[in-house]
Structure 1
Amino acid sequence: MPDKHLVEYAVIRVVPRVEREEFLNVGVILFCASQRFLQTRWVLPTDRLRAFLPNVPEPELADRCAEISARLQALEQVSLGGPGSGPIGQLPPASRFRWLTAARSTVVQTSPVHPGFCTDPAEMLTKLFEQLVL
């Protein structure tokens, strides 16, 4: 029987209007210390985001989507680490995960961190992404 590994994950949320506390799940960050695995998977469904912002003109919505996509790409880059990921991306995976999942009051936030067990972190990331985002 394959070994089970402890994982921690958080759902990435877009909160178009922070004061309303409504959010749209757009991604998942998964960390497995024993496998040195830290990855982020995300998608920005603009049609669903449009439902949260029905009175925003199309050009402004496109600008907001571009800004949100840039923030999500930055989260992904930090999770991967290495060159080009900035000073936070140079930290060990556990520190990067804690930074990525720290509480924020911005348009891009994460859920509380949840624990779990799996045999394959990449497979678990895909499963969570499909269940919680798609």
Structure 2
Amino acid sequence: MKKNAVSYAIIRFQPHVETEEFANIGIVLVAPRASYLDFRLETRRLGRLTSFFDSVEGATIRGVLKSYYTELKRIRDLAGHTGNGQRRFEFELSDNAEHLFHALTKDREGIIRFSEVRFAMTDNPKSKLDELFDYYVRRNFASSVYREGLLEKQVRGILKLRDIGRNFKPMAFSDGLYSAKFPFVEIFQDKPLKVLKPIYLGQDEPTRILDHGNKWLFTINRLKDKLPPDVVVAVEGPKDSLKRKQAFLEAVDLFRANDIKVVDAGNENELISAMER
């Protein structure tokens, strides 16, 4: 499929001009040759905004985003976007999707600002828009791999501080068809005695929390005959959202139901106690 050049800009919420602090809240994208103009704006998960900009009332933030969503929708409709391209083809130059995009993203003062215009190639502008939104706004790159890496670093620091880190080494286990690497394996006289796996379970959707928990549950059960009998998972869960917390607790219960020890990765005493047994 032929790829099209697209232009996009990150929509930013910047309530304090004096400090120049901002948070990414959306993406606007245009594919000129396809006459495609569309946007994604965060209007639901506002905890990050209300926490960071604590001097701005939550109701004010919601009001600003609601109004701006309406404005972006008006501009998108003006370009004639229906989801797959233009709805109409006889329009003034000022109604052209590309013209509207550049007029919209022009630098100006206000609470809502834009990044510099960036460029990409894609055969599906809608999928590209979703991908960019997930990356720059929802920060999905940080939800599992990145955050789990930080969690491993945190646990390594705790073990090192308690002077037991030298007893744990990374080690891979395999049944011949399936293999997995564990970052912390206690080895004594070349024999693995205990496995510790930090797992981040604070993803942005309950489904992703359960998926990631089930992935490691499957891995541990699949390799059970190869792993030492003492397997510990150090978990970090979500800080908000009732449904995400429910998914986290369900994942934890599944680990325990399979005789896997679960400790709070943020509780140093609980973690060390599990490692020293």
- Are 1:118 and 2:122 an aligned pair? yes
Aligned residue number for residue 136 of structure 2:
132
The answer to whether the Cα contact below 8 Å between 1:41 and 1:76 also exists between their aligned partners in 2 is no
Instruction: Flag structure 2 segments of 5+ consecutive residues without an equivalent.
Output: 81-93, 139-277
The answer to whether the Cα contact below 8 Å between 1:31 and 1:39 also exists between their aligned partners in 2 is yes
The whole-number CA distance in structure 2 between the counterparts of 1:28 and 1:22 is: 18
Aligned residue number for residue 87 of structure 1:
none
* 1:17–1:4 Cα change, 3 Å: same
Question: 5 Å matches for 1:1-134?
Answer: 2-44=1-43, 45-56=45-56, 60-81=57-78, 91-134=95-138
Larger Rg: 2
Deviation at residue 104 of structure 1 after TM alignment: 1.5
One-letter amino acid of the structure 2 residue matched with residue 31 of structure 1: V
Encode CA deviations 1:4-29: one digit per residue, 9 max, x unaligned: 10000000000021211111101000
One-letter amino acid of the structure 2 residue matched with residue 5 of structure 1: N
One-letter amino acid of the structure 2 residue matched with residue 47 of structure 1: G
| Aligned positions, number | 124
Query: For the aligned residues, what is the CA RMSD?
Result: 1.8
* 1:91–1:117 Cα change, 3 Å: same
One-letter amino acid of the structure 1 residue matched with residue 106 of structure 2: A
- Matched residue SS, 1:16: coil
Deviation at residue 82 of structure 1 after TM alignment: 6.0
Identity, in percent, stands at: 28
The answer to whether the Cα contact below 8 Å between 2:79 and 2:95 also exists between their aligned partners in 1 is no
The answer to whether the Cα contact below 8 Å between 1:13 and 1:110 also exists between their aligned partners in 2 is yes
* 1:133–1:77 Cα change, 3 Å: same
TM-score, length basis structure 2:
0.42
Encode CA deviations 1:97-132: one digit per residue, 9 max, x unaligned: 011110022100111000110001011101111111
Deviation at residue 61 of structure 1 after TM alignment: 2.9
Deviation at residue 66 of structure 1 after TM alignment: 0.7
The whole-number CA distance in structure 2 between the counterparts of 1:70 and 1:26 is: 14
The answer to whether the Cα contact below 8 Å between 1:79 and 1:97 also exists between their aligned partners in 2 is no
- Matched residue SS, 2:106: coil
One-letter amino acid of the structure 1 residue matched with residue 77 of structure 2: L
The answer to whether the Cα contact below 8 Å between 1:103 and 1:109 also exists between their aligned partners in 2 is yes
